[in-house]
A and B are shown apart, each in its own frame.
Chain A
Amino acid sequence: GAVVSQHPSRVICKSGTSVKIECRSLDFQATTMFWYRQFPKQSLMLMATSNEGSKATYEQGVEKDKFLINHASLTLSTLTVTSAHPEDSSFYICSVATGIEQFFGPGTRLTVL
């Protein structure tokens, strides 16, 4: 399966600042990646589908201007949380689609103070 990394693993920022999270597919050329968020002790919720070379597709209720996704290459997708607020604090996890299966990154814990 695909090996997926995320950077950073943890980030703490002040309210109003922007944070960029990177998702890398280390051994697979990924035309499609997914971004999920997970609140404490809850399930994963799909935020958006990241497509290489085109605009991301956002799920209903996810603000595209707040969660900017860039999939500029077959190995890198980035999620930028703009003007972060405490309610954006969450665990963000990306995945790489390889046909039927998805392989997940280790996640990024975002804490907004």
Chain B
Amino acid sequence: AQSVTQLGSHVSVSEGALVLLRCNYSSSVPPYLFWYVQYPNQGLQLLLKYTSAATLVKGINGFEAEFKKSETSFHLTKPSAHMSDAAEYFCAVRGKWGGGADGLTFGKGTHLIIQP
């Protein structure tokens, strides 16, 4: 079974400041990990994914995340926040089973607030 914990339901940063959104996972098998962003009343957009290649993953809109197996973490960062980054961010995990498709297990989400 897998689970995801996102620390901090709300994170507030100033425009231009570093963004750090935390995600820890639990998985009984090597995981696939994802970060999604959701704007109000919309579906989810994939920011980036970890699939056991490079541990530092670069995504869209300047975001990146680092997979740390020893810490079971996959924190999302962005060097300089923009006002347009204000949204809900979800970390998700999928077990790397032998085959087929599996649904994702999501964290509770972190609401990112950007202060002007």
Q: What residues make up the interface of A, taking CB atoms closer than 8 Å to B?
A: 1, 4, 6, 32, 34, 36, 42-46, 49, 59, 91, 93, 95, 97, 99-107, 109
Contacts and interface: CB of A to CB of B under 8 A. Distances in A.
Interface of B: 32, 34, 36, 41-46, 49, 51, 90, 94, 100-109
Contacts of B94: 100
A43 B43 contact: no
A111 to B, nearest CB: 13
Contact of A49 (B34, B51, B103, B105): B103
A67 B44 CA distance: 22
A46 B104 contact: yes
A100 B43 contact: no
A107 B42 contact: yes
B90 A106 contact: no
A49 B103 CA distance: 7
Interface of A is mostly: strand
Given A44-B44, A104-B43, 6 more contacts: A32-B101, A42-B109, A43-B90, A44-B90, A106-B43, A109-B41
B49 A100 contact: yes
A91 B44 CA distance: 12
A101 B43 contact: no
A34 B46 contact: no
Given A43-B90, A43-B109, A44-B90, A101 B103 contact: no
A42 B108 contact: yes
Nearest to B88: A41
Contacts of B45: 104
Nearest to A30: B101
Contacts of B51: 100
Contacts of A91: 41
A106 B108 CA distance: 19
Nearest to B42: A106
A49 B101 contact: yes
